[in-house]
Amino acid sequence: MNKKFFIENFKTLFYALLIAIFIRSIFVQPFYIPSSSMEPNLLVGDRLFVTKFSYGYSKHSMPFSPPIFNGRIFSKIPKRGDIIVFKTPADNRTDYIKRLIGLPGDSIQFIDGIIYINENQILKTIVSKEDILYCGKSKIKVMTFKEKLPNGKEYMASYRKDFSFQNSDKFFVPKKHYFFLGDNRDCSKDSRFLSEVGYVHEDNLVGKAQIMFFSSNSRIGSVFKFWKWNEIMRFKRFFKKIR
CA distance 97 to 189: 10
| Phi, psi of 52, rounded to the nearest 5 degrees | -80, -30
Read off the amino acid at residue 234: R
- Catalytic annotation, pick one of 59, 87, 98, 208: 98
Q: Which own/partner contact pairs does 19-28 have at CB distance under 8 Å and 24+ positions apart?
A: 21/62, 21/63, 24/52, 24/63, 25/52, 25/57, 25/61, 25/62, 25/63, 26/52, 26/53, 26/57, 26/61, 27/51, 27/52, 27/53, 28/52, 28/207, 28/210
CA distance 32 to 44: 8
Report CA-CA distances (Å) from 22 to 6, 85, 237: 24, 18, 28
Does 98 qualify as catalytic in the annotation? yes
Which residues on adjacent β-strands are paired with residue 240?
212
Does 59 qualify as catalytic in the annotation? no
Half-sphere exposure of 11 (CA within 13 A, CB side): 6
CA distance 177 to 68: 22
- Catalytic annotation, pick one of 37, 158, 191, 215: 37
| Residue positions annotated with a catalytic role | 37, 98
